[in-house]
Chains A and B, each alone.
Chain A
């Protein structure tokens, strides 16, 4: 079945450093979504990418969908303590009804 892996599993950065998480799917995706889960909270939708090679920005966050639509990345510039949490990608492809979540990357910030 469809598998969506994320690397790294954990990332510790100094406040102000950049952070990137990578999402890789075993199958071609029709679209990909990104979610953030704060400690003790529930996942919250950040963005959706649909087109091959698409790049979207939200302030310090940059999201990219790969040309082959099998991978995606989230890059945070100049991290802040408010960025702490686990970032999940989630993908769907034709033939599957479910939205499959990636394994997640837990980001911690060292002040």
Chain B
């Protein structure tokens, strides 16, 4: 596609339910990031994929959070047993090259998924 696509754009879920958030990166982009942004706050790093591998998953807040990437393309962020503090916008970004490159490392962001846990 022309840009990074995230779905759903909005998700309201009941506390305790599981949710899956999807990210379709730009075709050919090897690097993929997930960030969380609470209202009026900065970008909280969750996980980074290079291809289908996740060399850095240090930002996942708890074992309720997991993510995978397949085909060096689509990524899914899963939150199990959602809590109210999980409410936030979840942003996905992709870049052509990993951060250690000096070219083509620009990160393109999707529009985000706004998750509300009630």
- By a beta-carbon cutoff of 8 Å, the part of chain A in contact with chain B is 1, 30-31, 33, 35, 42-45, 48, 50, 88, 90, 92, 94, 96-104
Contacts and interface: CB of A to CB of B under 8 A. Distances in A.
B14 interface: no
B56 A97 contact: yes
A33 B107 contact: yes
Contacts of A48: 105-106
Main secondary structure on B side of the interface with A = loop
15 contacts: A1-B58, A33-B105, A33-B107, A42-B111, A48-B105, A48-B106, A88-B43, A96-B56, A98-B33, A98-B45, A98-B99, A101-B42, A101-B45, A102-B42, A104-B43
A77 to B, nearest CB: 24
B59 A43 contact: no
Interface residues of B, number: 25
B75 to A, nearest CB: 15
Contact of A92 (B55, B100, B110): B100
Interface string B94-110: 00001110100111111
Contact of A104 (B42, B93, B110): B42
A89 to B, nearest CB: 11
A16 to B, nearest CB: 26
Counting chain B CB atoms within 10 Å of each CB, which of A33, A43, A50, A88 scores highest? A43
